[in-house]
Amino acid sequence: MADATETEEPVVVDEARSALLEAITADLGDALVGSHLLPGKDLWIRVSSESWGSTASYLRSKQQFRFFNFLSAIDWLPSPFGRSHGSSVDVALGNEDEAEVETTLGSGYAGGETRFQVLARVHSLTTNMGITVKADFPEDSLSVGTWINDYPGANWHEREAAEMFGVHFAGHPNLTALYLPSAFEGHPLRKDFPLLSRMVKPWPGIVDVEAMPEIEQSATADSSASTENPES
């Protein structure tokens, strides 16, 4: 996964972010279980579930990441309902492989082992660099530590993540529903939570893709969409 996105100039060396990563690696030690660096663009690190809470105070006090950007979670389970665009039209466009349901658990940059991952992003104003921090939710408890003691702004973000993914942040004083009515059942952003309107009426396929001006002149002169290679 890590090398899936090639930068346009692979030779770019990002000294600032490399140095930052080295410092974090040295300080966190075993707590750091993964990292990913896109030179000139961004930095991801993954810490162990137990050290999630202490990572916040480390980043805030030691590395001067004062600005709290956001906190959320990801459900890496492939959707049990298949890809939404696996309709006949899309298959005709050369997407046959997309129609089948995947079962393997995915993982993003900096890796991951469990289904749920928490991710948060903080920003340093002194170096003008942001960093995305991830951690796995343990499969049994789905619980990591809270960040609100170091970043009080994480309060609402953790409440949102908790209600949307059904995860738990230990130490949060008021982990009640933020958006959803209190009687709501289920956790909407989990991949196995069906989007009912799509279940009732399946997606008709990509029928409203318009021709791009450049391609219009060259490729679509024969006006046959199916002959076109989407990966051109």
Partner 1 sequence: MTAISDRRQLAYIAAQAADARVNIELEAEGMTLNIGPQHPATHGTLRIVARLDGEQVVEANPIMGYMHRGYEKLAEVRTYPQVTALINRIDWLGSFANEVPFILASEQLMGIEAPERAQHIRTILFEMARIANVTLFLGDMGVQLGAVTPIFYAFRDREHILNQIESATGGRFHPNFDRIGGLKDDLPAGWIDETKRSLKEIRKFCDQMEDLIIGNEIFQARTRNIGVIPADIALSYGMSGANLRASGVDWDLRRDSPVGLAYDKVDWKVWTHTDGDSFARYWVRLQETRESCKIVEQLLDTIPSGPIMAKVPRIIKVPAGEAFIETENPLGVMGYYVVSQGGLEPFRVKIRSASFSNMSISPWLLKGAYVPDVITILASLYFILGDIDR
The tokens for 137 are: 């939710």
Q: Does 46 bind partner 1 (CB under 8 A)?
A: no
| Binding span for partner 1 by CB under 8 A among 12-20, 22-30, 123-131, 138-146 | 123-131
| Phi, psi angle pair for 26, to nearest 5° | -65, -40
Q: How many CB atoms lie within 10 A of CB 111?
A: 17
Nearer to partner 1, 140 or 197 (CB): 197
Instruction: For residue 227, give the nearest of 90, 89, 93 by alpha carbon.
Output: 93
Q: Does 162 bind partner 1 (CB under 8 A)?
A: no
Q: Does 169 bind partner 1 (CB under 8 A)?
A: no
The tokens for 218 are: 């060259």
C-alpha distances in Å from residue 113, one per residue of 37, 109, 117, 134, 155? 19, 12, 9, 12, 26
Output the 3-class SS for 131-186.
EEEEEECCCCCCEEECCCCCCCCHHHHHHHHHHHHCCEEECCCCCCCCCCCCCCCC
Cβ atoms 45, 110 nearer than 8 A: yes
The tokens for 217 are: 């002149």
| Binding span for partner 1 by CB under 8 A among 25-33, 45-53, 118-126, 137-145 | 118-126
Compute the distance between CA of residue 108 and CA of residue 112 in angstroms, rounded to an integer. 7
Nearer to partner 1, 83 or 168 (CB): 83
Q: Does 222 bind partner 1 (CB under 8 A)?
A: no
In whole angstroms, the minimum distance from the beta carbon of 22 to partner 1 comes to 22
In whole angstroms, the minimum distance from the beta carbon of 21 to partner 1 comes to 16
Q: Does 142 bind partner 1 (CB under 8 A)?
A: no
Q: Does 99 bind partner 1 (CB under 8 A)?
A: no
In whole angstroms, the minimum distance from the beta carbon of 128 to partner 1 comes to 5
Q: Which residues contribute to the site for partner 1 (CB under 8 A)?
A: 1, 4-8, 41-42, 44, 60, 66-70, 72, 74-75, 78-79, 83-85, 90, 93, 95, 98, 106, 108-109, 119, 121, 125, 128, 130, 132, 150-153, 155-157, 164, 177-181, 188-189, 193, 195, 198, 203, 206, 209, 211-215, 219-220, 225, 228-232
